[in-house]
Amino acid sequence: MTFEQLCARNTEARFTDWLREQAEPNWTRMTTHRFARELGAGTLDDAVAGRYLVQDYAFVETFVSLLGSAITTAPVMPSKRAFAQFAAAITSDENDFFLRSFEALGIPESVWKDPALHPVTAEFLEVLRAAIRSGSYPQVLSVLVAAEWSYLTWAKACPAERPTQFWLSEWIELHAIPPFEAFVNWLREETDRVGEGAGAGTQAMMAENFKRMMALEEAFFDAAYSE
């Protein structure tokens, strides 16, 4: 079903809700994944957590570059400011979290600085780089909203009582705190605005990006359990 067809049936439909529907069943499988459940319960094995964090940290530099592309292509200053503030959080609080976690988990600097990339990580990075190369604000938005909205969703579903291991509890908190939720809510509104005003071809491209991102997000959680 196209977004236009959905709107004909439901005048209250949001573009981002349509994107999510196009990404099923990967959206539901990712946001309710075993990894997220064990993370929230504090039962996630340290080796699994370590593999996940090392691979996830491999994204940071490229992800910040993607935010830079969002700043460049955003049409108005308030949107540029929202992305710049989020980039500041990624390069400060979140980066510090990774470094402390690697130390606590006994992961050598040689491992986290130059990791052997899992095939899923490599494919993920290519999606981010393709969005950067595109110079397309709609393409950048479709990648960002998939990543950040899905993380907010699983984090908000975690139990209120946090795990004792800080590398689990703080990872949840980073994706459940009010400033992050406010950014994701704004990001959805921005994607709604851009997507609803786009042509059918751009809407289809955004839906395809969102769907691919959710398939990769699910596979990325799966990969943490592989040696």
Domain extents in the chain: 15-223
Is the pLDDT at 4 greater than 90? The verdict is no
2 pLDDT tier (thresholds 50, 70, 90)? confident
**Residue 174's pLDDT is what?**
95
Average pLDDT over the chain, rounded to whole?
Answer: 95
Mean pLDDT, rounded, for 193-206: 96
Q: What SS3 string covers the chain? A: CCHHHHHHHCCCCCHHHHHHHHCCCHHHHHHCCHHHHHHHHCCCCHHHHHHHHHHHHCCHHHHHHHHHHHHHHCCCHHHHHHHHHHHHHHHHHHHHHHHHHHHHCCCCHHHHHCCCCCHHHHHHHHHHHHHHHHCCHHHHHHHHHHHHHHHHHHHHCCCCCCCCCHHHHHHHHHCCCHHHHHHHHHHHHHHHHHHHCCCHHHHHHHHHHHHHHHHHHHHHHHHCCCC
150-182 pLDDT, tens per residue?
A: 999 999 999 999 999 999 999 999 999 999 999
Is the pLDDT at 192 greater than 80? The verdict is yes
215 pLDDT tier (thresholds 50, 70, 90)? very high
202 pLDDT tier (thresholds 50, 70, 90)? very high
Cβ pair 53, 101 in contact under 8 A: yes
Cβ pair 158, 172 in contact under 8 A: yes
Letter for the amino acid at 103? Answer: E
Letter for the amino acid at 96? Answer: D
Looking up tokens 């980039």 gives 87
Is the pLDDT at 7 greater than 90? The verdict is no
Mean pLDDT, rounded, for 2-15: 84
Query: Which of the following CATH numbers is that of domain 15-223: 1.20.910.10, 1.25.40.420, 3.30.300.30, 3.20.20.10?
Result: 1.20.910.10
**Residue 131's pLDDT is what?**
97
More confident residue, 11 or 73: 73
23-43 pLDDT, tens per residue?
A: 999 999 999 999 999 999 999
CA 88 – CA 83 distance, rounded (Å): 9
Q: How many CB atoms lie within 10 A of CB 180?
A: 20
Terminal-to-terminal C-alpha distance of the chain: 40
**Percent share of the chain, pLDDT over 70:** 100
**Residue 18's pLDDT is what?**
95
227 pLDDT tier (thresholds 50, 70, 90)? confident
**Residue 1's pLDDT is what?**
84
9 pLDDT tier (thresholds 50, 70, 90)? confident
